[in-house]
């Protein structure tokens, strides 16, 4: 199972929100490149980079952070937040992202996303599914839809998307453990998916539990920044 640390960006700084609430923001580092280099030095291969300003504005904002990390590390980066138009998508790929993370657009403008899949290849995208009570949440978790998580994932997996991650918004940033039951159901229903767990990881025990379920990857954020999981501990996981 891949460990994929998250760096969330507001105003070019590394931050974390609690349950997607922009009012509950903690700044962890003024320099995201320092954080990325520390991850790389610990043996991490991949990075989940989230442009929270972009998610709120509806257009990519912090692409220079992506560009800097891509140019100065060998991390495989997926980048999301504000990718609503093809010009945003182009900026993300030109700035060094291996994958574009698509969430809200896949819900609200499925025709556009399918066009991108056909134009760029399904393997260039990471589908993000944010969930509240099994329903898809969009717009930086500010809005909940009536779309069921299982139907949403099934639709795009059938269109060739391979990598998906699911975040239970009720768990995110609270360090209370991941949604193991939900993830188990997803894995049993869609065993072919490269499924990445996200949200709630609070300890190495959580990571071992996700690995035992059969998750392909796990996104870890606050637990690292709060010292619940150390980079030294992560080295033992690989």
Q: For the chain, which domains are there?
A: 2-237 (3.20.20.70)
CA distance 203 to 177: 8
Q: What is the DSSP string of 193-237?
A: SEEEEES---SHHHHHHHHHHT-SEEEE-HHHHTTSS-HHHHHHH
Residues 6 or more apart whose Cβ sits within 8 Å of residue 84: 58, 59, 104, 105, 109
> Each residue's pLDDT tens digit in the chain (238 positions)?
999 999 999 999 999 887 778 888 889 999 999 999 999 999 999 999 999 999 889 999 999 999 999 999 999 999 999 999 999 999 999 999 999 999 989 999 999 999 999 999 999 999 999 998 899 988 655 678 999 999 999 999 999 999 999 988 877 667 788 999 999 999 999 999 999 999 889 999 999 999 999 999 999 998 999 999 999 999 888 7
Q: Extract the tokens encoding 111.
A: 């025709």
- pLDDT for 24 equals 84
- Which residues are catalytically annotated? 8, 130
- pLDDT for 23 equals 85
Give bridge partners of residue 3 from the DSSP assignment.
218
Give bridge partners of residue 195 from the DSSP assignment.
164
């Amino acid at each position: 199972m891949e460990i994929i640390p998250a760096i969330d960006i507001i105003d070019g700084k590394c931050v974390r929100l609690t349950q997607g609430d922009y009012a509950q923001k903690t700044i962890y580092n003024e320099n995201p490149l320092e954080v990325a280099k520390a991850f790389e030095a610990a043996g991490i291969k991949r990075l989940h980079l989230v442009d929270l300003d972009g998610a709120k504005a509806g257009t990519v904002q912090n692409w220079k952070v992506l560009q800097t990390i891509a140019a100065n590390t060998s991390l495989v980066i997926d980048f999301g937040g504000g990718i609503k138009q093809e010009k945003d998508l182009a900026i993300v790929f030109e700035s060094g992202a291996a994958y574009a993370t698509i969430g809200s657009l896949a819900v609200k403008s499925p025709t556009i996303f399918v066009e991108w899949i056909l134009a760029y290849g399904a393997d260039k995208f990471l589908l993000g599914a944010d969930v509240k009570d099994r329903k898809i949440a969009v717009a930086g978790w500010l809005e909940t839809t009536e779309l069921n998580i299982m139907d949403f994932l099934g639709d795009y997996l059938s269109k060739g998307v391979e990598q998906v991650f699911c975040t239970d918004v009720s768990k995110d940033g609270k360090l209370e453990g991941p949604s193991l039951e939900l993830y188990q159901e997803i894995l049993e229903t869609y065993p072919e998916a490269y499924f990445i767990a996200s949200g709630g990881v609070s300890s190495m025990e959580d990571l071992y539990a996700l690995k035992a379920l059969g998750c392909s990857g796990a996104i870890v954020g606050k637990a690292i920044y709060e010292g619940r999981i150390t980079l030294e501990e992560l080295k033992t996981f690989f």
